[in-house]
Structures are given as structure tokens and as C-alpha cells.
Amino acid sequence: MNDLLELEIKELIVDALLLEGVLPADIDTDAPLFTEGLGLDSIDALELVIALERRYEVKIDPDDVQNQNLFRSVRTLAAHVAAHRGSAPGAGS
């Protein structure tokens, strides 16, 4: 996997969610993002979706049953971004 992309996503999480006292290096790439691990909640998820869609031009369907797997960890997010970057409607225009 792309270590640089994973680091970028960690930085995006910290910046977009205004996580005080958390550095990107503090986030374990494979740790859960919600409940345990980083402890994000549903509001954080919405803000993170917006930030990911804007930065990487990916489309994340809020009704997709795979979202639980997609948002499992930084590694799973990075894999999705790598596979779908620039695929959102209007991307590149």
C-alpha cells in the first residue's frame, strides 16, 4: 500500500476533524477509526466523507452497505482512495 497516501489520510483526519492533541503519527494505520481505536462518531464520519470527496475526488455513497468496511481503518480508506481517486462525477472538470 502507499505509505504516503496513508500519511496524507491521517493528516486529513486530524485537520478535517480538528482533533486536538492528536498527531498524524499517533494514528495506527490498522486501528479502528470508530468506537475503539480513534473513537470517531457518526458526525466525524460525515465530515470525513466530505473531506475525502473534496481532496481526492472520490464518491462515497452514504447508503453503501460496505461503508463499515471502508471506514474500518486508515489502510482501508487509503485502498478505496487509491482505487477510486478522481472518479467522482465532475472530477477533472
User: What rounded mean pLDDT belongs to the chain?
Assistant: 89
In contact, 57 and 85? CB cutoff 8 Å: yes
Kindly report the pTM of this predicted structure: 0.87
pLDDT at 59 over 70: yes
The pLDDT tens digits of the residues spanning 4-13 come to 999 999 999 9
> Which domains does the chain show, CATH number per domain?
3-84 (1.10.1200.10)
Per-residue model confidence (pLDDT) at position 78? 96
| Sequence-separated (6 or more) residues with CB below 8 Å from residue 63 | none
Tell me the residue type at 22: V
